[in-house]
Amino acid sequence: MTSDQVAAGGADASGDAGYAGPPGRVGGDGRATVVAFANQKGGVGKTTTTVSLGAALAQGGARVLLIDLDPQGNASTGLDVRISGDEPSTYDVIVEGLPIDGAVRETAIDGLSVLPSSLELAGAEVELVQAMARERALARAVDAARPAYDLILIDCPPSLGLLTINAFVAADQLLVPIQCEYYALEGLSQLLRTVGLVEQNLNAGLAIGNVVLTMFDARTRLAQQVVDEVRTFFGERAFETVIPRTVRLSEAPSYAQPITVFDPDSKGADAYQRLAAEFAQRLGLRTFDAKRAVEVAAATKAAEIAAQQAEAQRGER
C-alpha cells in the first residue's frame, strides 16, 4: 500500500449517525484507482452499473478494466465475453495465481477490457479457505495491473463472503448501488461494518467512496422517500445522478451490449453517461471527456446501423 492510500484514511462505519467518511484514494498518478461495486443484497443493479459505467467511461477516453468477480458471470456475458473450455478466467487469477494479463479480454468497446468469470469461481470461496493470505489473492493481481489502466472496476457477487472480502482488500473505494425500494437501507449497516473491519485489519486505504441510487420509478412516492433517506444518511457521498428504472436497461444484457451501445439515445444511457461524468470528476480522472463519451456512443450506433443497412441491401440484390 502507498502512503497516499494510507493518508486518504479509512471508512467511518459509524452506523446510524450517517456516513461522512473520506472519498478514498483517487487517481491521477498514472496508476489505476480500484473501485469495488458492492452490496450484498441481490439484484440492486451492481452489474448493470459496473458494465454501463465502465462502458461510458471507456467511450469517454478512460482505460478501464472490469473484473467480473461473480460466478454468475453476468458482467462478462453483458459485454459479450464468454468463457469456453479451459480458457483462463478470474478463477485462475485468484486461485492459481495466473497474472491478470493472461486472462484479460478486449471487448467491442475501445478502452474497455474485462477479466471474465465463470461458474468455476463459485468453488474459489471454498478452495481459498485453505490458502495462505487468502484475502489478498485478488489484491496481488490487481496491484500488478494498476499501471496499465486508469480505472479497475470490480463487480462483486451478492454476498459478504471471501470473494467480496478479496475485492475490499484490493480496492481503494467502494461504489454501493442502492435500489429505490422498500428496505433499501436494510443490510447497509452490515456492509459498513464489514468495510470497517477490512479497513482496520487488511486495507487501511479502503473507503466507502460513493453510493448511487438505481431503478428509480418516478411514479411512486416510495422511490422519492428512499432517495431522501439515502441522501440524508450519505450526504454528498450519494451521487446527484439517479438511475431510472427503464425497460431498455433491462433489455440490454440479452443483446450482450452495455446500454450506451445498445441504445445510446435512451434515458438509461443518458443517466449512466451523466453518472460517468460525476464519477470522473470526483476521482479527478483527467483522461475522461464527457462530451466525447456521448459522441463516441452515437457514432458507434450510427456505424452499426449503416452496416446493417448495407448488409440488407446486399441481401436484396
Ligand X SMILES: Nc1ncnc2c1ncn2[C@@H]1O[C@H](COP(=O)(O)OP(=O)(O)OP(=O)(O)O)[C@@H](O)[C@H]1O
Positions that interact with ligand X (CB under 6 A): 42-48, 70, 74, 158, 214-215, 243, 245-246, 249-250, 253
As measured in angstroms, the least distance from the Cβ of 72 to ligand X is 6
Cβ nearer to Mg ion, comparing 50 with 203? 50
Contacted by 76, from Mg ion, ligand X, none: CB < 5 to 8 Å by type: none
Contacting Mg ion within 54-93 (CB under 5 A): 74
As measured in angstroms, the least distance from the Cβ of 214 to Mg ion is 12
Cβ nearer to ligand X, comparing 136 with 239? 239
Cβ nearer to Mg ion, comparing 64 with 294? 64
Cβ nearer to ligand X, comparing 8 with 242? 242
215: left (phi over 0), alpha (psi -120 to 50) or beta: left
Cβ nearer to ligand X, comparing 151 with 249? 249
The three-state secondary structure class of 311 is helix
Contacted by 38, from ligand X, Mg ion, none: CB < 5 to 8 Å by type: none
Cβ nearer to Mg ion, comparing 74 with 260? 74
Q: Does 47 bind Mg ion (CB under 5 A)?
A: yes
Contacted by 60, from ligand X, Mg ion, none: CB < 5 to 8 Å by type: none
As measured in angstroms, the least distance from the Cβ of 78 to ligand X is 8
Query: Do residues 268 and 241 make contact, with C-beta atoms less than 8 angstroms apart?
Result: no
Name the amino acid, one letter, at 190: Q
As measured in angstroms, the least distance from the Cβ of 282 to ligand X is 21
Neighbours of 1 (CB within 10 A): 13
CA dihedral 240, 245, 251, 256 (to 10 degrees): 20
Question: Any alpha helices (H) in the chain, and if so which ranges?
Answer: 3-7, 46-59, 74-78, 90-95, 124-129, 137-145, 162-170, 188-201, 221-234, 247-251, 259-262, 267-283, 290-316
- Return d(Cα 46, Cα 39) in angstroms, integer: 7
Cβ nearer to Mg ion, comparing 177 with 196? 177
Contacted by 246, from Mg ion, ligand X, none: CB < 5 to 8 Å by type: ligand X
The three-state secondary structure class of 138 is helix
Cell of 275: 453518472
As measured in angstroms, the least distance from the Cβ of 177 to ligand X is 6
Contacted by 250, from ligand X, Mg ion, none: CB < 5 to 8 Å by type: ligand X
Q: Does 46 bind Mg ion (CB under 5 A)?
A: yes
- Return d(Cα 88, Cα 141) in angstroms, integer: 14
Strand 173-179's sheet: what is its strand order? 105-106, 112-115, 64-68, 151-155, 33-37, 173-179, 207-214
**Residue numbers of the site for Mg ion (CB under 5 A)?**
46-47, 74
